[in-house]
Amino acid sequence: MPVQRTDPPAAVGPDPSGTGYAHAKAILLGEHAVVYGTPALAVPVHGLGVEARVWPAPEGVHVDSELFAGDASTAPGLVRPVVTALSAALDLVGLGHGAKVRILSSLPHERGLGSSAAVAAAVARAVAGLAGVELGPDALYKVVQEAERHSHGNPSGLDARAVVADTPIRFQRGRVAPVPVGTTTTFVLADSGMAGSTARSVAGVRERLEADPSAVERTFARIADLVEEGARQLAHGDLAALGTALSEDHRLLAWLGVSNEVLDRLVAAATAAGSAGAKLTGGGQGGCVIALADSEDHADELATALRGAGAARTWTTTVPAA
C-alpha cells in the first residue's frame, strides 16, 4: 500500500495542519556517473533542513516561502517543483487541491545539497500529516521524483532518497542500501558563492560522452570503483583512504568538465590545510566543496582556511559511527 492510515490522524482541531521535515545531503562519491547507472555514496547533512506546514484551503494553492509568497499560479519557475510536490501528494492521499503551504528552510538553494528534493519531501510529509496518513518510502520517493523532474529534467533519484535517509546510503538505479560507519566522521562543506547547475553539468558530461565514449566510460568505471572503495573505507573507519578516494574523484569530475576554477581553488585550500581529501559535491559548475576533517577542531581550521580561500560560508557536519 502506498499510504498507511495513522491512529489518531495528525490533522485534528480547529486549525488542522500537517508538518513535514527533510534534511540536506552531500554526495561523497559518484555524482554524474550515477546518471548512467553506476553507484553513488551520499551522507545526510542534518544541520541543514526544510520544514513545511500545510493547511487545507477551499480552492487554489498559496505558497509562503523565502523565494516566493502568493498564489501558485503566479509562482516563478524555481517554485514550480514545490507546487508539483504539493499536487502530487494531495492526489496520493486523496485530498482536494486547495491548500496553503509555508516553507521554512536553512538549506541554501542551488548549492548541490538537495534543496529541491528536501523541500518536496517536507511538503509531501506535511500533506500526509494533514491527511492523517504515513507515506511509505516508495510513495514518498515517487512524489519527490515527480517534483525533481521539474528541477533537473531526468534526475537519477539519488537526492530523493538521500534527503530522507538518516544514515549514509549507497544508491544505484533507484535502489538504496544503508552504509555502516566505522568511526565518527566529520566533514566541512564550503559554499563557492556560485549557484550550481546540475542540468548544465549533466548536458556537458553527455556531450563529452558522445564525443569520446571510451574515455568517459573508463572514467565512469573508475568512479564506480571509488564509490565501492569509499563505502568500505567509511565502514572500516579508514579516513586516510577515504580522503584519497575523494581527491581522486574530484580530479575525475574535473576532467569531465563539471568543476571550475573556484571549486578547484577551494579543494586545494582544504588540502593545504590538512584535509585528507576534498572534492566538489553535487552538480558542479558552482555549488559546494566537501572536505574531510580529522576532528571537530580540525574542522574549525578547515572552515577558516576555506573562507580565507573565498568560500562564502561553511558548515560542519558529523556522521556518527553506526
DSSP 264-298: HHHHHHHHHTT-S-EEEESS-SSSEEEEEESSHHH
- Is the peptide bond between 76 and the residue preceding it cis, with omega within 30 degrees of 0? no
- Tell me which of 7, 159, 212, 225 is the catalytic residue: 159
Centroid of chain to Cα 235: 21
Active-site annotation holds for 264: no
Yes or no: say if 314 and 189 are a contact pair by the CB < 8 Å rule: yes
Q: Comparing C-alpha atoms, which of 74, 52, 51, 50 is closest to residue 61? A: 74
Q: Name residue 280's beta-bridge partners.
A: 289
Yes or no: say if 152 and 53 are a contact pair by the CB < 8 Å rule: no
Yes or no: say if 311 and 273 are a contact pair by the CB < 8 Å rule: no
Q: How far apart are CA 127 and CA 109, in angstroms?
A: 22
Which one-letter DSSP state was computed for residue 65?
A: S
Residue carrying the nine cell digits 548544465:
200
Catalytic residue positions, numbered: 159
